[in-house]
Amino acid sequence: MTEVVLLERPAEGVVLLRINRPEARNALNIEVRKLLAKHLAEVSEDTTTRAVVVTGNDKAFAAGADIKEMADAGTIEMHQRGAHKLWRTIAGCSKPVIAAVNGYALGGGCEIAMTCDIIVAGESARFGQPEVKIGIIPGGGGTQRLTRAIGKYKAMKYVLTGDLFTAKEAFEMGLVSEVVPDPEVEGRAIDLARQLAALPPLALQLAKEAVLAGMEAPLSTALALETKSIQILFSSQDQKEGMRAFIEKRKPKFIGH
């Protein structure tokens, strides 16, 4: 049986995770979610991986949850599936994660993209949280992450109507980092990942932690975390190497220590 999530290594220090259910527009069944969580947990601990790209295919990043798999489920069964734990694992990757979005990123697909740190979208990509149209609400963080990304009133419009929005609209609202021509999406995401992979891993990790934790904390607490994080980095070999290389006008070589 073909793996529903493929792991590729397109560049040194870069892992690409490809959702691979083209017959179902990459719908997120429980197997896809488990494999994404498994791979992202593993790369978090893998010192040779410095950045991750998550993508689908040219028709769909992921067109939502697998409705056939959940249509007849009850409350207890949904709880026992533990999908909420998998979402936390996916969002908890310590490495920078880039979503490369072509086609549809709907429902759970939009939520997967929003767990990433950077979103590169093709011009014809479409985003949305259409769960209300089938009698439920977003359950993988959509009501919270979308609101934090684009604000209450825009988020309310899309969560309550289930309407889709374009990559251009997503960019203008602050949900998408870059919009590029459709054929360039994956290559651009890999180039960004390669750029990140050349930077000091500890600095990237602490920068990511500071941003994410700071979003949920008072400004004074977030600033204290930022201060402690930069102070910690002055004990790293990469800080010494980076500053020496700057002074000596040469390219630094970061080792992650």
Q: Is residue 2 scored above 90 in pLDDT?
A: no
Q: Is the pLDDT of residue 161 over 80?
A: yes
Quote the percentage of the chain above a pLDDT of 70: 100
The one catalytic residue in 111, 170, 197, 207 is 111
According to the model, what pLDDT value does residue 246 have? 96
On whether the CB atoms of residues 101 and 126 are closer than 8 A, the answer is no
- The 10s digit of each residue's pLDDT in 72-113 is 888 898 888 878 888 888 889 999 999 999 999 999 999 999
Whether the CB-CB separation of 110 and 150 falls below 8 Å is answered with no
- Known catalytic residue at 108: yes
b/e 128-155 (16+ beta carbons within 10 angstroms → b): bbbbeeeeeebbbbbbebbbebbeeebb
CA atoms of 117 and 111, how far apart (whole Å):
12
pTM of the model: 0.94
- Whether 92 is catalytic is no
Angle between helices 201-215 and 237-248 (to 10 degrees): 110
CATH topology of domain 201-248: Lyase 2-enoyl-coa Hydratase; Chain  A, domain 2 (1.10.12)
pLDDT at residue 40, rounded to an integer: 95
Checking if the pLDDT of 206 tops 70, the result is yes
Query: Residue 25: what pLDDT?
Result: 94
Q: Where along the chain do its domains lie?
A: 5-197, 201-248
State yes or no: is 131 an active-site residue: yes
Please check the confidence at residue 162 and state whether its pLDDT lies above 80.
Answer: yes
The percentage of the chain sitting over the pLDDT mark of 90, rounded to a whole number, equals 87
pLDDT in tens, 23-66: 999 999 999 999 999 999 999 999 999 999 999 999 999 998 87
Q: Are 13 and 70 in contact (CB under 8 A)?
A: no
Q: 1 pLDDT band (50/70/90 cuts)?
A: low
CA distances from 18 to 57, 59, 93, 126, 179 (A): 8, 13, 16, 18, 20
Annotated catalytic residue: which of 108, 109, 122, 242?
Answer: 108
Q: Which residue has the higher pLDDT, 72 or 132?
A: 132
| CATH number assigned to the domain covering 5-197 | 3.90.226.10
- What whole-number distance in Å separates Cα of residue 190 and Cα of residue 54? 10
Choosing from 51, 60, 65, 193, which is the catalytic residue? 65
Q: What is the mean pLDDT of the chain?
A: 94
List the structure tokens of 240: 């010494």
Q: Which of 113, 131, 193, 210 is catalytic?
A: 131
Segment 134-159 shows an average pLDDT of 96
